[in-house]
Structure formats: C-alpha cells, structure tokens
Amino acid sequence: MNKNNIISGVIIAVLLLGGVVWVTLSSGDSRTNKTPVASSSKGKLTLPEANYDFGTISMAKGNVSHIFKVKNEGPETVNLSRLYTSCMCTTATLKVKGSQDGPFGMQGHGFVPLISRDLKSGEEAEVEAIFDPTAHGPAGVGKIERVIMLENNTSDNPISINFSANVTP
C-alpha cells in the first residue's frame, strides 16, 4: 500500500464521519429524541381537565384509563406532532377525527414516532391515558403521579397532561 492510498483512505473516513455527525445534529436533539416542530401556529390548545386523580386503585383489578379532551380554540390549525409518557407503566393513545395513533410509551424506552395530525380551529382530539398499576410490582404501592406530553406547533409546546392515583395491592 502506498502513501497516497493511506492518505486518501483517511480523508474519506474523516468526510464520512463528519457527514454522519452533521446529519445527526441537524435532525433534532439526539439526547431527548425531540424533533424541531414545524412553523409556529396561532392555534390555542386547551385542556379542560389537565389533571385527573384516579383515587385509590388496586393492583389486583388491573389497568385503569381516562380520556382527556384537547381542543384547538385558536384561529389557526395546530399540528400535533408527538405523544409520550413519563413512565413505562403508562401508555397514551391519540384520537383525532376517527383516526387513532398509538399507543405510545415513555420516550427513551423505544422509538416514539412523529404523529403529524392536524387539529383545525374548533376541532377536538382525545388523549387516552392507560396506567398499569402492576408495572412496578410491590414497590409500586402508594401515591403515583404521571405525565403525558403532547408536542405541537403552538407557543405552549409541549402541553402536559397529568394524573395521579393511590395504588394498593
């Protein structure tokens, strides 16, 4: 192997590595798995019930669920881009105009894909939260608080949907 071949190989390797780094950095924040949201909307998402308390629930009775309504009360269409939860014990499903996306889980514990659902002015969506009280085993007894995040292209990005429960055996 001559000196020119070695130099050419090193240059190609550096260019390839630089290209991979550039693509990774330009496709969003790789540490949080977030992708920049499309242009800002003057839509306004409202969440009449941002917090829900399941009260006392039993592990023995299994999963519990609750539906949260999200409405666009602004003048422009809002793009709902991603839905994820704060814990692996929780999943969330998005329902818009008869279409369903999900269930989605905790970001960082599996791929959380982009959704890209438009919510026109005056339209409503549903986010169903499903909590599995057995997910943490015996250590999961007691008060819990979980969060579901709905990324969108409004100035209130992301919006937080919260629930709590007191888990008993």
Q: Average pLDDT in the 59-77 region?
A: 96
The 3-state secondary structure of the chain reads CCHHHHHHHHHHHHHHHHHHHHHHHHCCECCCCECCCCCCCCCCEECCCCEEEEEEEEHHHCCEEEEEEEEECCCCCEEEEEEEECCCCEEEEEEECCEEEEEECECCCCCCCCCCEEECCCCEEEEEEEECCCCCHHHHCEEEEEEEEEEECCCCCCEEEEEEEEEEC
Q: CA-to-CA distance for 50 and 122, rounded, in angstroms?
A: 18
Q: Would you place residue 37 in the very low, low, confident or very high pLDDT band (cuts 50, 70, 90)?
A: very low
Percent of the chain at pLDDT exceeding 70: 78
For residues 35 and 142, the model is more confident at 142
pLDDT, residue 36, reads 44
Q: Would you place residue 12 in the very low, low, confident or very high pLDDT band (cuts 50, 70, 90)?
A: low
pLDDT, residue 131, reads 97
pLDDT digits 0-9 by tens, 106-139: 988 777 788 999 999 999 999 999 999 999 999 9
Domain spanning 45-168: CATH superfamily: Immunoglobulins (2.60.40.10)
